[in-house]
Structure 1
Amino acid sequence: MDVAIKTGPIEHIETGTIVIPFFKNLENVTESFVVLDKIFGESLSHAVHEDEGFHDNSRLFTTLSLGKVHAKRIVLASLGDPKEVNAEKLRAFAAKMVSCLQNYHEKDFIILSPCYGMHNMVPEEVYYALTEGAVLASYDCDKYKTKDKDKSKKPNKLYFYLDNNENKSEILKVIQKSVLICSYSNKVKDLANGPSNIVTPGYLVQTAKKIASDCKLKLKVFDERSMRREGMNCLLAVAQGSVQKPALIVLEYKGAKGKQPIVIVGKGVTFDAGGINLKPTGYIETMKEDMTGASVVLNTIAAVAQLKLPINLVCVVPAVENMPSGTAVKPGDIVKSANGKTVEIMNTDAEGRLILADALNYATKYKPAAIIDFATLTGASFVALGKTTTPIMGTDPAMIDQIIQAGKETYERCWELPLFDEYSEAIKGDLADIKNVGGAKGEAGTIAGAVFLKEFVDDYHWVHFDIGGSSWNHGGDKGYYQKGSTGIGLRVLVRYLENLSHKE
Structure 2
Amino acid sequence: MKITPVSHAQAARAKTIFIPLFKNESPSGDAVFMRLAPSVKKAVLEFARKEFRGDEGETKSVWFAVGAVRRVRLFGKGEKSKWNARKADILPRRFIRAAKADRASEYAVSSGGDLTAFARNSLMAHFEYNRYKETPKGGWPEVKSITPAVADTDRAPAVRAIAEGSAIGEEVNSARELANTPGSDMTPMHLAEAARLAAKRAGFRATILDEKAIARLGMGGVLGVARGSDEKPRFIILEYRKGAKDQKPLVLVGKGVTFDTGGINLKPEQYMYEMHMDMSGGAAVIHGIAAIARLKLAINVVGLVPAVENMPSGSSYRPGDLLKSMSGKTIEVLNTDAEGRVILADALTYALRYKPGLIADFATLTGAAHVALGNYCSAVFTNRDALTEKLVAVGTASGDYVWPLPLWDEYLHEIKGTFGDIANMAKNDRYGGAIHGAKFLEQFVEDAPFAHIDIAPRMTAVDSDILARGATGVGVRYIAELARAYPGIMKQEEGIRN
Q: Equivalent residue for 1:169?
A: 156
Alpha carbons 1:310, 1:501 under 8 Å: kept: no
C-alpha separation between the residues in 2 aligned to 1:46 and 1:57? 20
1:243 equivalent to 2:230? Answer: yes
Q: Counterpart of 2:313?
A: 325
Distance, in Å, in 1 between the alignment partners of 2:224 and 2:415 is 19
Other-structure match for 1:43: 43
Counterparts of 2:413 and 2:369 in 1: how far apart (Å)? 20
Q: 1:11 to 1:182 in 2, by over 3 A?
A: closer
Q: Tell me the CA shift for residue 425 of structure 1.
A: 0.4
Contact kept in structure 2, 1:268 and 1:294, CA below 8 Å:
yes
Q: What secondary structure is seen at the aligned counterpart in 1 of 2:29?
A: coil
- Partner SS state of residue 142, structure 1: coil
Between the aligned partners of 2:292 and 2:356, the Cα distance in structure 1 is 17
Give the aligned residue type for 2:232.
K
Corresponding position of 1:401:
389
Conserved in 1, the CA contact under 8 Å of 2:8 and 2:110? no
Deviation at 1:135, TM superposition (A): 1.7
How much has 1:417 moved relative to structure 2?
A: 1.0
Displacement after TM superposition at 1:8 (Å): 7.9
Match of 1:392 among 380, 396, 414: 380
2:450 is the alignment partner of 1:462: yes
Structure 2 partner of 1:412 = 400
Deviations 1:298-349 (A, max 9, x none): 0011100111111100000000000011111111111211010111111111
The answer as to 2:17 corresponding to 1:6 is no
Instruction: Give the 5 Å matches for 1:6-405.
Output: 6-7=6-7, 9-10=9-10, 13=13, 15=15, 17-23=16-22, 24-26=24-26, 28-36=28-36, 38-40=38-40, 42-51=42-51, 54-56=53-55, 58-69=57-68, 71-113=69-111, 126-148=114-136, 150-164=138-152, 166-257=153-244, 258-405=246-393
Which amino acid is 1:210 matched to? L
Query: In proportion to residue count, which structure has more helix?
Result: 2
* Equivalent position amino acid for 1:148 in 2: P
Distance in 2, matches of 1:357 and 1:149, equals 50
Residues of 1 paired with 2:309 and 2:363: CA distance?
Answer: 15
Please give the alpha-carbon distance, in whole angstroms, between the structure 2 residues aligned to 1:314 and 1:135: 27
CA separation of 1:231/1:148 partners in 2, compared to 1, >3 Å: closer, same or farther?
same
Would the aligned equivalents of 2:243 and 2:298 in 1 still touch at CA under 8 Å? yes
2:467 is matched with: 481
CA contact (8 A) 1:37 1:45 kept: no
Is the 2:341–2:440 contact (alpha carbons within 8 Å) kept by the matching residues of 1? yes
Q: 1:225 to 1:175 in 2, by over 3 A?
A: same
- Equivalents in 2 of 1:84, 1:324: separation in Å? 50
Q: Secondary structure at the match of 1:485?
A: coil
Which letter maps to 2:54? H
Shift of 1:39: 3.2
TM-score calculated relative to the size of structure 1: 0.92
Residues 486-497 of structure 1: matches in 2 within 5 Å?
486-497=472-483
Question: Displacement of 1:37 after TM fit?
Answer: 5.1
Unpaired stretches in structure 1, ≥5 consecutive residues? 115-124
1:28 partner SS: helix
One-letter code aligned to 1:483: R
Q: Any unmatched runs of 5+ in structure 2?
A: 492-498
How far did residue 26 of structure 1 move?
4.9
CA distance in 2 between counterparts of 1:410 and 1:304 reads: 13
Residue 280 to residue 9, structure 1, CA distance change in 2 (3 Å): same
CA positional deviation for 1:255:
1.0
Q: Which residue of 2 aligns with 1:435?
A: 423
Contact 2:8 2:149 (8 Å CA) reproduced: no
Residues 393 and 112 of structure 1: CA distance in aligned 2, closer, same or farther (over 3 Å)? same
Task: Give 1:73 shift.
Answer: 2.0
Secondary structure of the residue that 2:344 maps to in structure 1?
helix
Q: Aligned with 2:406: secondary structure?
A: coil
**Matched residue of 1:449: which SS?**
helix
Q: Name the aligned partner's letter for residue 455 of structure 1.
A: Q
More deviation in 203-212 or 81-90?
Answer: 81-90
- SS at the partner of 1:67? coil
**d(CA) in 2 for partners of 1:209 and 1:296?**
14
Distance in 1 separating the partners of 2:341 and 2:61: 52
- Per-residue deviation, residues 209-260 of structure 1 (Å, max 9, x unmatched): 1122122222221111111111001110000110101011001000112211
Helix, strand or coil at the partner of 1:478 = helix
Q: Provide the alpha-carbon RMSD of the alignment.
A: 2.0
Asked if structure 2 preserves the Cα contact closer than 8 Å seen for 1:107 and 1:155, the reply is yes
Compute the displacement of 1:14 (Å).
5.1
CA distance in 1, matches of 2:204, 2:34: 51
In the comparison of the two structures, how many residue pairs are matched? 488
2: distance between equivalents of 1:466 and 1:273? Answer: 19
Moved more, 100-109 or 196-205: 100-109
Residues 99 and 154, structure 1, Cα contact 8 Å, conserved in 2? no
The alpha carbon displacement at 1:501 in A equals 4.0
Task: Identify the residue that residue 452 of structure 1 maps to in structure 2.
Answer: 440
Q: TM-score, normalised by structure 2?
A: 0.93
Residues 259-303 of structure 1 show CA distances to partners (whole Å, capped at 9, x for unaligned) of 110100000000001111111110111110100000000001110
**Residue number in structure 2 paired with 1:117:** none
2:468 aligned partner, one-letter code: Q
